[in-house]
Amino acid sequence: MEHLRWIRHRWQQVSAADSRQDWTSPANLLPSKSDLDPQDHTGHQLSGKRRTVVARHGPHQAEYHNISKGYQGNGIRTTKYTLLSFIPMNLFQQFHRAANLYFLFLVLLNWVPVVEAFQKEITMIPLAVVLTVIAFKDAMEDYRRYRYDQKINNTITHVHSRRQRRYVERRWAEVCVGDVVRLCCNEIIPADMVLLHSSDPNGICYIETANLDGETNLKQRQVVQDLPQQGSEFTPENFSSRIECENPNNDLRRFRGYMEHPNKVRVGLHSENLLLRSCTVRNTETVTGIVVYAGHETKAMQNNSGPRYKRSKLERRLNVDVLWSVVLLLLMCLTAAVGHGVWMSRLKDPVFMIPDDTDPALAGFYMFWTMIIVLQVLIPVSLYVSIEIVKLGQIYFIQNDLDLYNARLDSGVQCRALNITEDLGQIQYLFSDKTGTLTENRMLFRRCTVAGTEYPHHENARAMEQYEEQCHGPLDNTLTLRSRSSRKSLSCNRSSVSLNTLAAVSDIHSPHDTLRRHAAGAFSSTMECAVVPDVQLQRKLSALSTPLCPPLKHDTAELSHILDFFLALAVCNTVVVSSPSQPRHVVQMPVARTPLRSLEEMKALLQKLSLPRFSLSPSQNTDSPPGLTRRLFSRGRSATFAPYTPNTLSAQPHTPTSTTPSPIPTHTPSPSSTPMPIHRGAWGKDEELADEDSFEEEDDDEEEELLYEAESPDEAALVQAARAYGFTLLGRSPEQLLVVLPSTGPLSVPLLHLLPFDSTRKRMSVVVRHPLTGQVVVYTKGADNVIMELTTALGDDSCSREIMERTQQHLDDYAREGLRTLCVAKRVLDEAEYEPWLKRHAFAETSIENREELLLDSAQRLENNLTLLGATGIVDRLQEEVPETIEALQRAGIKVWVLTGDKQETAINIACACKLLRPTDRLLTANCDSKEACEARLCELQRDISTITERGLSDSSMGVSEGDAVISGFTLVIDGRTLDFALHEDLQKNFLDLTSGCRSVICCRSTPLQKSQVVRLIGDSLGVMTLAIGDGANDVSMIQVADVGVGISGQEGMQAVMSSDFAISRFKHLRKLLLVHGHWCYTRLANMILYFFYKNVMYVNLLFWFQFFSGFSGSTMTNSWVLIFFNLLFTSVPPLLYGVMDKDVSANTLLSLPQLYKAGQNCEAYLPSTFWLTILDAFYQSLICFFIPYCAYAGSDVGLLSFGSPINGSALLIILLHQVIESRTLTWLHAVVLLGSAAFYYTFVLVFSVTCVTCNSPTNLYGVETKLMSEPLYYCVCVLTTVLALLPRVLCRALLNSICPSDLVKAQKLDRSLLEQYWATIHQWKENKLDRQKLKSKHVPQTLSVNADVPHSVDCSQEPISVLS
């Protein structure tokens, strides 16, 4: 179908006669880039680190042809090879491996006549087979990439054609930089484009980046500010602006540049103006953009790095042992060379040799290289290929483990790194994020403090508990739908709810109507953020909302703080508002209606409260009392209220959402012109209205259908909390917010600037013009320690200082309860303060170089001298089975560190809840303000640990009494500032010594950079295996630094997953991933590698021993075909099965006994001593395998090949049975493979013996094998040789396991005993069933009862910990 569509498309192109040359108009003589003023703004000198983009069809044709020559096309090619380059390039890459180069050297060496050992063709077979297998694999992978490239490049999009003056269909590969592209809803973006036009009247569109980073929540993009054409239709021919932007890079979240209009006005370009390739347009009918990056220069292709490859610890050990094998080979060849030289020197005119004048020393030199060829299989050429195959098999079983599957998210474990599976079984240090990793990252508003008064929200907590009980479990039971947005839908809406949009599907008639009504909203990355208002806070707000209530003596300043606090929660965010009934994601601005509460009613209310009235005219002097609303929204300032209008504010520029300043739109409604009846939260009373029924119905529908999507779970919870108190966010556009305040209709809040959150500032701010006062107000929310440092008490106002002190106490209480804390503050700007800042900020936005630094400095200039409004406490519950998982990991010998940005008290509370901090642990804290204090504190804590340890604490399993307490371990808690000091080079040793004595470490207030520094310090300094796990973008650096990086596909997007080696959906899955699959992968691979070394050394030594009886002549007692195929074919498959399927201990036992994991940490399966013992055993078995047949056939007339036949047969049986002894799991598949290998060998040699006469020139193989196998002596020799060769290994293993068994051996015995008990129980049950049937056959009376229970049943799931005593 796709092929037919492509043919139709090409036919349309031919019939239209619109070639690529017709897309552009002839070049004109307009000024080029060099003719323009390069210094339109101070500091904007053009440099070579940027690119210029103009439209292809625009007036700048000459400039376009000059600058577009170096820009890439939009066609992509991810393949490595072409048909012509495949063979040479693939061979070139394969010969980068040292093993392949080694065998290529042997092939070439065998072509030298004086050292030739085998037929030239035979020597090439092993290398040819390995190269062919790998080349076939590479070819299949590259062909899949080729087909994907063709599919992408042939995708159709619509590009504007100058000749036809309309948008025509073009392939993606034909799109170029400067093309104007039009996209419809649900279409994929073909290249990185700057958004020029949107069908949305507000100039915004929405994209879904799931194809790029896995995130399914919608991202908002907006048209470049101040474009001359913003009507209903966009005319590409009239677009004459020029774009200057940075060169292509892989930063998905940054785009720096500016657009210069014909009037020389520059407008800053940001990431909000860029549509990225591979994203999908959503909820917008049409968008138009100009291509700035195409093909491999797009940010999506710049980030396309493919699978991650690391070198595992076991592989590094393997390389060392391969070098030892090379040394062993050289020693054996040197021995043979010396022996041959000595033998030749003592040989005088032998009759069986052709006279040769070669010097014995030179003959020995030649023999050295001949023996290199003969003994070549000592180096396992197929080992590396076998390891790759085994790891693919291990990954298959890991990814198909149902215990690691999350049905709610429909996701399992992902293995993104293909070659470090065995490292999962050797982890010694685990570094974990807290939020979203140990916790749900599903934020629920719990309590708040405003103006120093704490509101505990007890009803909210009780209602949520009852709701959870009614649902019979946690709120995870809410429905989550996966995004199928990759499929095109017929409508302009998304085809399904996004992954991070959660909606309640419970019964609306529940007694908890408030919870269910509020839970109807959908949030990105949250569960239902339902809030039941606090009674005390509700009563205070009711004083303003109900004029008929009795006068209350509330403090005006407190009411001002309350209103500003909730207004900040409603507007200081990036939440996107949507409704299922609307095609677009933005709630449209409503038509003005009669207000539910007029400003006159608010005046009457203030009269009842004995407060000054609104002053709608300028005050006469500065000492007069301020107006009502001004006093409520700007505490401590004496000014007047004047409702702003387009006339009064037309001269005041603003920059919505960080764009170039522009006048406030003339359509911005004033408070008196836009209010409409909207829901009043949980505290308002019904009013008598003319259309009351219809308004109530509409209000309920709107409230139930209002959906919130936020990139941060905190934002969604806070917006929902504000909504519960009547501060409802109804809609968002680039220039304004639509917010309902208590007792008013919707008010338009002009959005001047949005300063987004970043990890450096740890806060975000919005600059708005207040909807009632018209003042410029900065609302800021962020980490409590940051906001507290930026807040100041107003002069000598003791009340402000008291509020800050009480708020700090409440924050400490929240942290001790394990709540996430966040502070809210504001700052009111005078126009004299705002205008200079606006100029600097506009310059920073239009800068290309150092834009981030300039914007950071601009934000910090604004975010100071803040007035503290209050703080919130948000609960983030632990994921299921986190305590059990951490306890199991610690019992496995893994030291668990938690690196979090939360407060110290919050981290300690979570550590206690997840059993990271036990009641018997000694808590050590390090909070220092200077480097000297940090050094002293580290030394002091180290002395404390040493003192207590000397008194009897030797490890975490022992305890020592200190007073009335028993200490079983130490846990260090260190804050970010102290950690920064500790990471200095001169304090690193003290820090490492201190943490080595601690069972766990908690790093609070840590930054992403500190996280990565800690992981690198521990891994490099202590030489241990590290694992880092996280779920957010702030964990990416830590994940990439660790030996094994694990990402959680949680609520903070997919950045961590995209950077990880393994991805899981829940923290609890880490338990089985490490303790079971990690142990199995390491044990299997280690034993398989040792087995490879064993079988190669064992077989090669047979050839070496024969040299002592053949004058070290390089002769062999077997034909060269069997010699080459023995390791390549006959014994190659059983090790693969061994490496993929062997299970030394069952999964249940490994989970029940986490201490078994220590075997992998200590590398017990593959130690240097283990390697050399394996080599010695191979030497012994080769001696037995050679000399038993030698003694049996001594004095007989058997030929050379007849002597080698029982040796080969015995060697095959010994090697196969050796694997049977080493295997812990034997199934029918093992039997098939082992018997099949033996049958394959004997079939090959028999067929070879009866069909081949000249295959092994100059010797004759005809009839050798058939004659020997007809004699009983052959079988006696094979059986005796096999028994004597394997007997010592069996006896030593039995003796060792009986006298001093290891923990693994005990666990294996436990598995067998449980299995025997299980089958005994089954057998007993069957016997009882048979007895009952016999009784029934004898017509047992109805009064006779037969007990069908097993008399002595055995609990197969009993706790086996006591076995390892």
| pLDDT, greater one: 763 or 629 | 763
d(CA 117, CA 95): 24
Total number of residues shown for the chain: 1365
Confidence of residue 304 (pLDDT cuts 50, 70, 90): low
Please give the Cα distance from 768 to 567 (Å, whole number): 11
Q: What is the distance between the alpha carbons of residues 1201 and 247, in angstroms, rounded to a whole number?
A: 71
The whole-chain average pLDDT of the chain stands at 75
Q: Residue 991 above 50 pLDDT? A: yes
Per-residue pLDDT tens for 1036-1061? 888 888 999 998 876 555 677 877 88
Compute the average pLDDT of residues 474-491.
Answer: 34
* CB-based burial, 313-328: b 16+ in 10 Å, e otherwise: bbbebbeebbeebeeb
d(CA 569, CA 944) in angstroms, rounded, equals 46
Cα separation, 818 vs 671, whole angstroms: 41
How many Å separate Cα 1179 from the centre of its chain? 47
* pLDDT attached to residue 934: 92
Most confident of 238-242, 589-593, 1077-1081: 1077-1081
Q: 632 with 715: CB under 8 angstroms?
A: no
pLDDT at residue 1342 tops 50: no
pLDDT tens digits, 1247-1297: 888 887 666 666 667 778 888 888 899 999 999 999 999 999 999 988 888
- Structure tokens given for 466: 């009852």
CA-to-CA distance for 13 and 17, rounded, in angstroms? 6
Say whether pLDDT at 40 is over 90. Answer: no
Summarised one tens digit per residue, pLDDT across range 152-188 is 899 999 999 888 888 999 999 999 998 999 999 889 9
- The set of residues, in sequence order, having a beta carbon less than 8 Å from that of 694 and lying 6+ positions away, is none
Residue 873, pLDDT above cutoff 70: yes
317-360 confidence digits (pLDDT tens): 888 888 898 899 999 999 999 998 888 887 776 656 666 667 78
pLDDT above 50: residue 1077: yes
pLDDT at 306: 54
Give dist(CA 364, CA 337) in Å, integer.
Answer: 4
pLDDT in tens, 1180-1238: 999 999 999 999 988 887 888 888 889 999 999 999 999 999 888 888 898 999 999 99
Rounded to two decimals, the pTM is: 0.69
Residue with tokens 């290289």: 369
- How far, in Å, are 22, 157, 801, 899, 1031 from residue 171 at the CA level? 16, 6, 66, 48, 37
Helix (H) / strand (E) element for 757: namely strand 746-758
Query: Model confidence at 900, in pLDDT bands (50, 70, 90)?
Result: confident
| Rounded CA separation 429/1044 (Å) | 10
The pLDDT of residue 1026 is: 94
Q: Count CB neighbours of 378 within 10 A.
A: 22
Neighbours of 381 (CB within 10 A): 22
**Is 884 or 964 the better-scoring residue by pLDDT?**
884
Q: Are 617 and 640 in contact (CB under 8 A)?
A: yes
Torsion 1065-1069-1070-1072 (CA) sign: negative
The residue that leads in pLDDT, 1064 or 1340, is: 1064
pLDDT at 673 over 50: no
Say what the pLDDT of residue 1087 is: 92
Measure the CA–CA gap between 1322 and 1330, rounded to whole angstroms. 12
Over pLDDT 70: what percentage of the chain? 72
Please name the helix (run of DSSP H) or strand (run of DSSP E) that holds residue 88, with its range, or none.
Answer: helix 86-94
- CB-based burial, 1236-1260: b 16+ in 10 Å, e otherwise: ebbeebeebbeebbeeeeebbeeee
Q: Model confidence at 606, in pLDDT bands (50, 70, 90)?
A: very low
Q: What is the distance, to the nearest Å, from the Cα of residue 745 to the centroid of all Cα atoms in its chain?
A: 44
**What does the pLDDT read at residue 920?**
81
List the catalytic residues.
Answer: 433
Strand partners, 1138: none
Q: Is 506 a residue whose pLDDT tops 60?
A: no
Among 412, 407, 440, residue whose Cα is nearest residue 525: 440
User: Has residue 1096 got a pLDDT over 70?
Assistant: yes
Q: Average pLDDT for residues 881-899, to the nearest whole number?
A: 91
Phi and psi at residue 773, to the nearest 5°: -95, -20
Q: Environment class of residue 1085 by beta-carbon count within 10 Å: exposed (0-12), middle (13-18) or buried (19+)?
A: buried
Percentage above 90 pLDDT, the chain: 19
pLDDT at position 1364, please? 35
Tens digit of each residue's pLDDT (9 = 90 or more) over 101-160: 877 888 888 788 777 777 777 778 778 888 888 888 888 888 888 888 888 899 999 999
Tell me the pLDDT tens digit for each residue of 756-784. 887 678 888 999 988 877 889 999 998 88
Instruction: For residue 662, give the 3-state DSSP assignment.
Output: strand
* 1176 has a pLDDT exceeding 90: yes
Q: What angle do CA 1290, 1296, 1298 make, to 5 degrees?
A: 100
| Contact predicate 898/916, CB 8 Å | yes
Q: Does residue 888 carry a pLDDT above 70?
A: yes
**pLDDT value for 780:** 92
Q: What is the pLDDT of residue 291?
A: 93
Largest CA distance in the chain: 134
Selection from 1038, 1024, 1025 nearest residue 434 by Cα: 1038
Residue 1247's identity, in one-letter code, is V
- Residue 608 and residue 547 in contact, taking contact as beta carbons nearer than 8 Å: yes
| Confidence grade of residue 528 (pLDDT, cut at 50, 70, 90) | low
Side-chain half-sphere of 276: how many Cα atoms within 13 Å? 27
